[in-house]
Each structure stands twice: as C-alpha cells, then as structure tokens.
Amino acid sequence: MATRQERSAGSATQPPAGPPPPSDRAMGRAGNAVARAAFTGASAGLLRMRELSVLIVVVALSIYFAVSNPAFASAQNAAVIASFTASAAIIAAGEVMLLVSGELDLSVGMTFAMTPFILLWAMDLGAPFIVALFVALAGAALVGVVNGVVTVGLGVHSFITTLGTLFLVHGVTLIISGSFPKPAPSKGFVTQVLGGWPWAQILWAIVIVIVMHAVLTGTRWGTYTIATGGNPTGASEAGIKIRRIKMRNFIACAVLGGFAGIVEGIHVTQSFDPNAGGNELMFTAIAAAVIGGTALAGGSGTVIGAFLGAVVLGVLRNGFTLQGISANTYFVILGVAIIASMVLNTQLSRFRREAKAG
C-alpha cells in the first residue's frame, strides 16, 4: 500500500514527472540543468551542486599549482595544507550550524586561543589530562552559553554579543596566560590521539565534518536548526523551541573552536599561544562556510561545502606561498572569492524564483 511512487524518493536531482515545465523564456539553454534541479531537489540539489562546484575548484587549483611548482604535490606540502585547513574546517562546521539557525559567532577564534590555557590551568591543579580536557571544553562551552543567553535571552544581535565576547575572551586569555606562550602537553595516550599522530589534526577535522554533516542533514537538531533559521515564527508555531536550538548551536560552535585550539597547539606548534587563532582564523572559517554555500541569512547550508571551502583557502594560500606570491595577493583573492560566492548564491536563488514564476 505504501510502496507506490517510493522509488522517486531517492534522487533529489531527478527531473520532475508532474509539474508543467517552465517557459522557454525563463529557461536559458545553459540554465536548463540548474532549473531542473531547482524544480525538484531545490536547495538540497543546489547545495549538492555547490559542494560539487567547490570540489571542482579544489581539484583545478591543485592541478594548476602542481603543474607550476613540483614542490606542491609532495606529501610534506600536503601536510602543511592539511594543518592550515583543519582548524578552519572544524570551526566552520560549528559556524555553519549557527549561520543556518540565523546567528553567527565572532568570538570563536578567541575561544580557540583561550581553551588550551584552561587545559593547562586544570593540569597545573593536578587534574589528569583527560579530565583537564573536559574542564577546558566546559570552559569553551561557557563562552557559548554566554553568547547564547545574551543573544536569545536578552535579545542582543549575535553580531554584537559575540563582538563583545571576542574582546572579553581575548582579554581573559592574555591574563591567564601572562601573555606568553606555554609548552603544550606532549605525553600520554590521549595527547597522542588528539594530535601526536602525523595526520591527527586533519583526521579530527574530517571526523567532525562527517558527524556535523550527519547532525545537520539527518537529525532533529539539524532539521530544527534549518527550520529556526528559515522561518523562526513558523518553527515556533510548530512547537520548536527555537531559543534552545540557537543556544545549542552557540555551545557547539564554541566547543568545536576550543577543541580545534587544543588540537592545533598539540599537533602543530607543540605550544599554546595566547595570540593563536584569533580573528583571522574566525573569518577564514566564516569565509569557508560562505564559499561552501551557506547562506548568511539562515535556513540553508552545508558542512561538507564549508570543509571544501576551507580546503580551497588552504590550497590557495599554500600555492601562492610556493609561487612566491605575497600574502597580500592572497587576501585580494580571498576577498574576491567571498564576494563572488555571495553573488553566485543570490543570483542562483533569483534564477530559481524566475524559473518558478515563468
């Protein structure tokens, strides 16, 4: 009884069977495929296409740099790219959840730097590493709680809230660290798991991306996150606790930021630096999310896209360095990439509307 038509459920990009085709006027020759995707899978299809297009950019850039500089395609260099990408990708996964629910976190780069010092503080008090790790992540979660309470509880825009906590957390970090880097813990099994193995950092990033992708696309939390950002009034009329969802995303973003900070310190620099991460990392993560196809307005986004966005930025930066092009040019390219991504986003959704109207 329930079996009919179910086969069509599997594929989001399959051409529609039922609706009248849009007029020739609205559907240009080149836009045919896009319009079809818009008709059936709509933004789910568009997001898949977006992930694919960013992946193509990654491959194209890699080929270009590999051809123009043999040093690019070495295992050693891959490790450099991986370590640049990993932290941004982990943080971007948290930012995607927040952006989709209609908020953002500017303070996460500072939480990234603070959390390792909480870890050290707990270890100085005699806590075993694993306990200290949880204390540190709880400290990061507290930043998320503050961001969430001020934003959803007191009604301050998250841009302002997290701008405030950005400075606040940075100040706290400088105070508890005495403004000097400290050596990161390097002994013990958990430390090895977190960052001791050569590819540990990027593996963590991949695991987190897979988990957060599953959360966003396959769980109630993710569905309610999309609902909260897409239609807050409708979501609460349906009984969804949108404040609770935003709160949870603020905490997730901060905890992921803190975790990334600990892994980076152990894995890359073997020291914890109070000036690590910061705003550049935070903006890189948000840029990765946007390049990957997450709408700043909320309601749609992809964790995998954000990961690929982070890889694009990592490859670009590394490739430019190898070519001897200055970091200044990298920033120019980064700026163009962000704006081009946003233009693509808005134009695609406009095209979608027109195809529908036509």
Partner 1 sequence: MTAFANEPTNGPSNGPTGGSANGEAIRVEGVAKRFGSVTALRDVNLRLGTGEVLGLIGDNGAGKSTLIKVLSGYHRPDRGRILIHGEPAALRSVQHARALGIETVYQDLALINSLPVYLNLHLNKEPVRWPFLRKRIMRQRARRYLDDMGINIPSVNSEVANLSGGQRQAIAVARAVYSEARILLLDEPLAAMGAKEGAIILDLIRMLRERGDVSMIIIAHNYGQIFDVCDRINLLQHGEITVDKPTSETSVEELVELVAREYRVSGLAADQGQVLADVREGAGS
Which CB sits closer to partner 1, 37 or 276?
Answer: 37
Which CB sits closer to partner 1, 83 or 345?
Answer: 345
CB-CB contact of 122 with 131 (8 Å): yes
Cβ at position 306, least distance to partner 1 in Å: 17
Which CB sits closer to partner 1, 182 or 244?
Answer: 244
Which class for 196: exposed (0-12), middle (13-18), buried (19 or more C-beta within 10 A)? middle
Which CB sits closer to partner 1, 111 or 302?
Answer: 302
Which class for 176: exposed (0-12), middle (13-18), buried (19 or more C-beta within 10 A)? middle
Cβ at position 9, least distance to partner 1 in Å: 4
d(CA 119, CA 76): 30
Which among 246, 342, 294, 341 is positioned nearest to 96, based on CA atoms?
294
CA atoms within 13 A on the CB side of 298: 18
Alpha-carbon torsion, ordered 216, 219, 220, 222, to 10 deg: 0
d(CA 209, CA 61): 22
Cβ at position 152, least distance to partner 1 in Å: 17
Helix (H) or strand (E) holding 62: helix 42-68
Which CB sits closer to partner 1, 114 or 226?
Answer: 226
Binding site for partner 1 (CB under 8 A): 1-6, 8-9, 12, 14, 16-19, 38-44, 214-215, 218-220, 223-224, 226-227, 230-231, 233-240, 299-300, 352, 356
Cβ at position 28, least distance to partner 1 in Å: 19
Cβ at position 225, least distance to partner 1 in Å: 11
Cβ at position 99, least distance to partner 1 in Å: 13
Which CB sits closer to partner 1, 12 or 79?
Answer: 12
Written as six digits, the tokens of 4 are 């009919």
Cβ at position 80, least distance to partner 1 in Å: 35
Written as six digits, the tokens of 163 are 């701008």
Which CB sits closer to partner 1, 38 or 86?
Answer: 38
d(CA 94, CA 104): 9
DSSP string for residues in 273-286: -TTSSHHHHHHHHH
Which CB sits closer to partner 1, 323 or 353?
Answer: 353
Which among 340, 318, 355 is positioned nearest to 71, based on CA atoms?
318
Cβ at position 275, least distance to partner 1 in Å: 38
Give me the numbers of helices (H) and strands (E) for the chain, helices first please.
14, 2
